[in-house]
Structure 1
Amino acid sequence: MSDAAREELATIAARGGWTPAFSTRPSAPPLYLTTAFDIEDLEQLEAVASGKTAGYLYTRDGNPNHEAFAADVARLEGAEAGVACSSGMGALTATLLALLKSGDHIIAARGLYGRTGQLLHHFASAYGMRVTTVEIHDADAVRQAVSPDTRLCVVESVSNPLVEVTDIPAVAEAVRGVPLLVDNTFATPCLLRPLEHGAQLVWHSASKYLNGHGDVMLGVIVGERGLVRRIRQLTALAGTNTNPLEAWLGSRGLRTLPLRMERVSATAARLARFLQQQPGVSRVYYPNLPEHRTCAVARRLLPRGCGGMLAFELAGGRAAVDALFRRLAERIPFSPTLADARTTVSYPAGTSHKFLSAEERAACGISEGLVRLSAGLEDVADLERELAAALSGG
């Protein structure tokens, strides 16, 4: 009788689930859904813990799925290293905690995603830091904001929700010597690689385009190896990293990212021109429209397309937005996110920027009649028909 046959049922059950080692490699990356990794002996423990031998010990400190996703994004962005986090906001939090201390100064672009601005000002009040909000399209204003204790400049490559393109080379020159942190969520490395234009760090809400299917909460930050090492240490200490399944889903999404960005860029550009002709639409925001305030910058930095995000104003204000969303609900849903495979709409004044005062929203150009649209993968003719019907009251 074999040893296995003599084992009690409880032992067999507790130790099950394993297959013998095999020589072929899986065609798709495996999911390492494990809390920890078994260690052969104390010598191996020391070798892995010191970095002399490749391996993993505890998933909060590192996991193959974390490393694969972060490394893929780093390669796409042209970065030296990367670290996966629980969300885009988790990536920003880890960066601030790792790189800043009491008394430090942050320069922030006016009109950042509402939660980003809220977090920066929370750090300022809670940890004795200073935040200066500047008109990021005015290089002189950015340059004048730099002080001896400035330690970070935070911008978006393409802003949320007015899709304004930041002149990253000009900002990098204005803050020379200060690390430039760029939220590249809207553009993705398929359209713009900020590190090639003078940035030191790039972060993403990978829940959006990098994943692309609306089923992940995930963030990532990539950049210079020394800076990323400090951030990685903080994520392990504070627990702001992600779990293996989210990272695995993020990696799966990356495989189709270039195709999706090409498609949504073409769709958004066509919808922007279409919406300009629709009743009740008073203004459309999309970077390649000649009247957009950053059109010239977009033509220089985004030659492969301007992405899948656009915004438009309804002359009827909040009431008109509510009526539009009700008419669209069965086809183009109102969803407080973006970059899903399907087209969605959102209301910045009540979602992404609701934490700002009415005066602050007005200063950022966010009105009660502003709608943000995230172009999906549907046939664009169907989207035009559905939008036309909803805007005309059908």
Structure 2
Amino acid sequence: MDHDANDALHPDTLAVHAGRADLEELGVHALPIDLSTTNPLTDIDSGGESYERLAGGGSLAEGASPVYQRLWNPTTARYEEALATLEGADAAVAFSSGMAAITAVIMAAAQEGKRHVVALRPIYGGTDYILAKQLLGTTTTYVTSVDEISAAITDETGIVIAETPANPTLELTSLDELVAAAGSVPLAIDNTFATPVLQQPLSHGAAFSIHSATKYIGGHGDVLGGIVATDDAWATRIRGIRALTGALSHPLASYLSHRGLSTLPLRVRQQQANAQALADALVAMPGVEKVMYPGLAECDPKGLVGTQMSGPGSMMAIDVGSFERAAHVAQSTKLFTHAVSLGGVDSLVQHPASLTHRPVAAEAKPNAGVLRLSIGLENADDLIADLRQALASA
């Protein structure tokens, strides 16, 4: 599917058909899974040439051997094409986890000796932690508003990293303002909460749109993965890092993620409708001090929902006042599973300060009374009733 053809199709149609162009030629209807770890070589010279090309991040040449699964796999390649289509990107690169994806992006940006990172908080705790610990040989300047980014950039800055909606407090940031503040420095956006159904950062000028595919893309809590949408030049560099560090998405994970894309628009819209109903109810519910959800006007002062994002999504956070109350509510729900992760068909509740954001610096932790809610496909009235009884007993 070329870009011109894609422009005429709705996202729901693209989600079903993207990355499947070769199925008719293969004589199959469902996505095939190729689990081969190694591939026959036609001869020594061409095999060596293909290895060198793929290990350097190049694409598979026509008629060439893929050589080895760590370098290239057809199941993963179809999934990458599909995600790139939904993001409006030249290419996508799939990884074994979301953290492997963000790691490769940071490494790629630092390859030319620019080892300084500017990171806008709040961001996912894992990203915050890997930057703070300098595990990749980078240094980081943290900022808390777009207005601080330009001043934080130096000649050594290789990348600006941000997340909108932010994890876990759902703060919204203008992508246009982020791109302007970053200037010539590439901007990486964690797009996990929004998904490509609701937001396409590359269309605003971001260099990378990063997803933990474990979340909404897989959608069923049974696959671990990450994926980066970007342009061809960055994709080549990132694929080379992936090939040499061994972080390729396993074919089965790629298959499950690609299959998840087919229903992604439907799931996102229904979960979003449930979340809006829940947020409206929580605002007036006893025991809730604050509701953080992009679908509430007070949480979107710049009107980014409806412009930058086509909808508010299905993630939210509530502040119930104290750690003790938060712990009680998390343990007292019947339909919300107390667990990490998000974006699946079932609803989850999590206490970020003691889980995903536990390792980060004190100034980056959310309030102890904050609970993060991932809203699933259950009936909204049942979810409302479940939270009401949990709050009432706290």
Cα distance 1:63–1:105, how it changes in 2: closer, same or farther (>3 A)? same
* CA distance, structure 1, for counterparts of residue 266 and residue 136 of structure 2: 43
* CA distance, structure 2, for counterparts of residue 280 and residue 265 of structure 1: 23
- The SS at the match of 1:372 is strand
AA in 2 matched with 1:380: A
* CA distance, structure 2, for counterparts of residue 150 and residue 275 of structure 1: 42
Pick aligned residue for 2:323 from 310, 318, 324: 318
Deviation sequence 1:194-229 (CA, Å, 0-9, x none): 001110111110000111111111001110110110
- The SS at the match of 2:244 is helix
Cα distance 1:47–1:235, how it changes in 2: closer, same or farther (>3 A)? closer
AA in 1 matched with 2:156: D
Corresponding residue of 1:13:
none
Cα distance 1:126–1:75, how it changes in 2: closer, same or farther (>3 A)? closer
Cα distance 1:154–1:33, how it changes in 2: closer, same or farther (>3 A)? same
AA in 2 matched with 1:214: G
Corresponding residue of 2:359:
355
Cα distance 1:357–1:131, how it changes in 2: closer, same or farther (>3 A)? closer
Asked if the contact 1:164/1:294 (under 8 Å) is kept, the reply is: no
Tell me how far 1:299 sits from its aligned partner: 4.0
Structure 2 gap segments, 5+ residues each: 1-23, 54-60
Corresponding residue of 1:346:
350
Tell me how far 1:41 sits from its aligned partner: 3.5
Corresponding residue of 1:83:
93
AA in 1 matched with 2:35: L
Corresponding residue of 2:367:
367
Asked if residue 92 in structure 1 is aligned to residue 102 in structure 2, the reply is yes
Identity %: 34
Corresponding residue of 1:6:
none
1:1-394 alignment to 2 at 5 Å?
25-42=27-44, 45=47, 48-49=50-51, 51-101=61-111, 104-123=115-134, 127=137, 129-136=138-145, 138-139=146-147, 141-292=148-299, 294=301, 296-302=303-309, 304-315=310-321, 317-328=322-333, 330-361=334-365, 366-393=366-393
AA in 2 matched with 1:286: Y
* CA distance, structure 1, for counterparts of residue 25 and residue 274 of structure 2: 45
Corresponding residue of 2:21:
none
- The SS at the match of 1:296 is coil
Asked if the contact 1:47/1:53 (under 8 Å) is kept, the reply is: no
> What is the Cα-based RMSD across aligned positions, in Å?
2.0
Tell me how far 1:30 sits from its aligned partner: 0.7
- The SS at the match of 1:273 is helix
Tell me how far 1:295 sits from its aligned partner: 5.2
- When Rg is computed on C-alpha atoms for both structures, the one with the higher figure is 1
User: TM (normalized to structure 2)?
Assistant: 0.87
AA in 2 matched with 1:117: D
Tell me how far 1:152 sits from its aligned partner: 0.5
Cα distance 1:126–1:42, how it changes in 2: closer, same or farther (>3 A)? closer
Cα distance 1:263–1:126, how it changes in 2: closer, same or farther (>3 A)? closer
Tell me how far 1:52 sits from its aligned partner: 4.8
- The SS at the match of 1:246 is helix
Cα distance 1:133–1:293, how it changes in 2: closer, same or farther (>3 A)? farther
Structure 1 gap segments, 5+ residues each: 1-21
User: TM (normalized to structure 1)?
Assistant: 0.87
Tell me how far 1:42 sits from its aligned partner: 3.7
* CA distance, structure 1, for counterparts of residue 25 and residue 368 of structure 2: 61
Tell me how far 1:298 sits from its aligned partner: 2.9
Deviation sequence 1:212-259 (CA, Å, 0-9, x none): 111111001110110110010010001111211111110010000111
Tell me how far 1:126 sits from its aligned partner: 5.8
* CA distance, structure 2, for counterparts of residue 23 and residue 356 of structure 1: 50
- The SS at the match of 2:305 is helix
